[in-house]
Amino acid sequence: MYQALYRQWRPQTFAELVGQEHVARTLQNALEQERLAHAYLFCGPRGTGKTSVAKILARAINCETDPAREPCNQCAACLGIQAGRVMDVLEIDAASNRGIDDIRELREKVRYAPVEVRYKVAIIDEVHMLSQEAFNALLKTLEDPPSRVLFVLATTEPHKLPATIVSRCQRLDFHLIGIAEIADRLRSVVKLANRTISEDAVYLIAEEADGGMRDALSLVEQVLAYCPGDVAQEDVLAVLGAVGRDIFHMLTEALLRRDLSAALFLLDDVVARGKDLHHFTQQAVRYYRDLMVVLACGKEAERMGIGPDWLQPLSKQAKALGMATIGGILAELHGLLAEVRWASRPRLLWELTIFRLFISGGGVAQIAPEPDGMTTQSSSLAKSRPEHVVAAPGKDQPLPALTRMWPRVMDLLKKESVKTHALLLSGDVALRDANTLEVRYEAQIHCEMMDSPENRRPLQAVLKEVFGVELGICCVKVANVTGAFAVEKDPEEIFSSAVEIFHGQVIG
């Protein structure tokens, strides 16, 4: 019963066409005023309805119910065309019939007046695939079109067509269909099939279809065939080989908590369940894209395809991360996407990416308050550690973020002010509390210099850039400063130590 869902639910009238109202209106007006062009060029991504519209148009101009803004789909002409029985409606797939002989044959066929219906309609799909000679032959026909012949050329890549062909056609651009519109259509299709589907399952399919209605319908068809009862998110995930959004939500939570082990275990689980990491990466990109959309558009994000159930959780995470961090994550994932498909060890690439995100960016904006008594503890620690940045003992929370990010702070500061950079080299830094960076010097004069606006301002600007929050600066005189700067590691070095940790090699 579900085998032919796509064909069954393919739009049969202009009114049923989803997301291409501008195309429908143009063609219906032309039909009504009997001012159809001799040739139309339908451009647009796959699955957006180009061939469906060509067939609706073929029926509408031949429908026996006259005048027809819509085909009646009842008369002999409509039914004949629908069933593919009418020889006057020709369909060519240029992907497999791209030679000059194919077009010559077509020219031969359109030379004679139609016999069964009023108009001959020649539909050439994937027309950009034609050979140069075939284009030339087609051009001759378009320049001197036989009467009562309508050409519909369809293509996903209009830029590959010769300008001479394009100039002979009226061009109509088909748009990608919005997630919300696809979701609507899916709901009604499932309802008509007397089945039920959960909202997250609907959004998952709509998202996966990436703006193409045909893909969406064929996916829902597979899912309905796969599971006999009500369709839940798990069924869709099983058919797609995908993971649920909650994985990315948890991954982001781990990033915000700076809980590296949780992040690695999440990945381990995905791999253990045999999920394809290329697809997983695509989903990750989509998730962080959505975070950015939510942050930029607020409640309006629903119009950008964010499911209503997800608005609030996404918004919370997006605010915690901040635009710059989300942008950084997206850049990382984008690079990963290019590599992961062909990598012999995609898991390792993912682990390295997670590692880099933890080192370089994700979650730094969320600097939690320091535990009580931290300052004194870290002062004593400062003596035993050969590091410029005084790290907090025990728990993973905010100071490691400072430790990790300090090289970047110093890097940026060097560009901002060489003087301030040099001054910081002779002191130690630590977080006094969530809002204050403490700089420690042995000499009072250094404290005073650091306290001056000309040094304070560049440092604060850089701290804001790196951590996403305003930090106060407080200078104190101490008996002993380590100032060893072991923390100022080369990024290469950090990367290779990451590789060592994972006992692996860098791929690609």
Of 36, 72, 100, 478, the one binding Zn ion by CB under 5 A: 72
Q: What are phi and psi of 231, to 5 degrees?
A: -90, 120
75 binds Zn ion (CB under 5 A): yes
Beta carbon of residue 141, minimum distance to Zn ion (angstroms, whole number)? 27
What's the closest the beta carbon of residue 109 comes to Zn ion, in angstroms? 23
Nearest CB to Zn ion, comparing residues 47 and 71: 71
Question: Looking only at residues 108 through 137 of this chain, which bind Zn ion when binding is defined by CB under 5 A?
Answer: none
Which one of 39, 63, 243, 374 is in contact with Zn ion (CB under 5 A)? 63
Q: Which of the stretches 2-10, 68-76, 212-220, 277-285 binds Zn ion when contact is defined by CB under 5 A?
A: 68-76
Q: Which is nearer to Zn ion, 75 or 494 (CB)?
A: 75
Six token digits for residue 159: 């830029």
* Closest separation in Å from C-beta 60 to Zn ion: 8
Count the residues of the shown chain that bind Zn ion, applying the rule CB under 5 A: 5
Q: How far is the CB of 114 from Zn ion (least distance, A)?
A: 15
Question: Phi and psi dihedrals of 162, rounded to 5?
Answer: -65, 140
Window of 33-41, 70-78, 134-142, 454-462 that interacts with Zn ion by CB under 5 A? 70-78
Smallest gap, in angstroms, from Cβ of residue 166 to Zn ion? 31
Nearest to Zn ion of 72, 260 (CB atom): 72
* Min CB(283)–Zn ion separation in Å: 44
Interacting residues with Zn ion between 421 and 450 (CB under 5 A)? none
Cβ pair 437, 406 in contact under 8 A: no
Answer for the pair 190, 220: CB distance below 8 angstroms, yes or no.
yes
Residue 299 CB-half CA count within 13 A: 0
Residue 36 CB, shortest distance to Zn ion, in Å, is: 17
Three-state DSSP at 11 gives coil
On whether the CB atoms of residues 60 and 68 are closer than 8 A, the answer is yes
> In the complex with Zn ion, which residue's Cβ is closer, 63 or 138?
63
Q: What is the 3-state secondary structure (H, E, C) of 398-432?
A: HHHHHHHHHHHHHHHHHHHCHHHHHHHHCCEEEEE
Task: Give the CA angle between residues 299, 300, 304 to the nearest 5°.
Answer: 125
Part in contact with Zn ion (CB under 5 A); list of ranges 72-80, 247-255, 394-402, 429-437: 72-80
Instruction: Report the side by side order of strands in the sheet with 428-433.
Output: 428-433, 436-441, 472-477
Residues 209-228 that bind Zn ion (CB under 5 A): none
Given the complex with Zn ion, which of 69 and 385 has the nearer CB atom? 69
Stretch that binds Zn ion, among 66-74, 183-191, 469-477, 478-486 (CB under 5 A): 66-74
**Least separation, in Å, of the C-beta of 79 and Zn ion?**
8
Alpha-carbon distance values, 364 to 46, 230, 397, 432, 433 (Å):
41, 42, 11, 17, 15
State in angstroms the smallest separation of the CB of 25 from Zn ion.
20
Q: Which two tokens stand for residue 133?
A: 């000679």
Interface positions, 328-367, toward Zn ion (CB under 5 A): none
> Per CB under 5 A, which region of 74-82, 135-143, 157-165, 468-476 contacts Zn ion?
74-82
Say how far apart CA 324 and CA 320 lie, in whole Å. 11
Q: Are 425 and 483 in contact (CB under 8 A)?
A: yes
One DSSP character per residue, 36-72 reads --SEEEEE--TTSSHHHHHHHHHHHHH-SSSS-SS--
Q: Where does this chain bind Zn ion (CB under 5 A)?
A: 63, 71-72, 75, 78
